[in-house]
Amino acid sequence: MAEEFPQKVNPPQPPPFLEILCKISGKKIRFAAGTKAGFAVSLINMKLDIGSPLALHIEAVKEGEEPISFGPDAVLVNYGNGWKLQTVTEVDFPGTRRIEGVRLVSTQIPLVKKIDGSHSTNAASSPGTSFSWLYIVKILLAFVVMFMLAGIFMVALDNLPGLILFINSYM
């Protein structure tokens, strides 16, 4: 007779992704397990419409429990039953001032490539990358100064042997 062995039942594995509820748009956004919270916040903010309040950070919430906030370098974690991840916005902090008509921009804007290989338009419009004529004039001025210095050094090196002979004749 064959002995019957009880089969081991594997516990259900957690999904290989995390879902974050964006309170601004009302959509759930999926991220791979091990994603850093700062990257998730910046990606969520890039998908928002202009004029929408920005997501400041991500927190895990559960009814009757204290929320757990994730810092920008923290790895997102699903804490199990009843816990859900959601964004915290500027509106959630009543003490935060917001100037009407001005949208605050995160200082850390990653260059994100779209599926077709092109760069995101939000990265190109980040502060500090605007094109101006003053920038071109400064570059041209730097080239002029470089060529002038090169000319001075070239004349000095051409006359160096004569200078050495002149100094040696007085010694």
Other CB atoms within a 10 A radius of the CB of residue 45 amount to: 23
pLDDT in tens, the chain (171 residues): 556 666 677 777 766 788 888 888 888 888 888 889 889 988 888 888 777 788 888 998 988 889 888 888 888 888 888 888 899 887 776 655 554 444 444 444 455 555 665 555 544 444 555 568 888 999 999 999 999 999 999 999 999 999 999 999 987
CATH of region 17-124: 3.10.20
Report the SS3 class of residue 133. helix
Quick check: 72 and 35 in contact, CB under 8 A? Answer: no
Quick check: 46 and 125 in contact, CB under 8 A? Answer: no
Closest C-alpha to 68, from 49, 53, 48, 88: 88
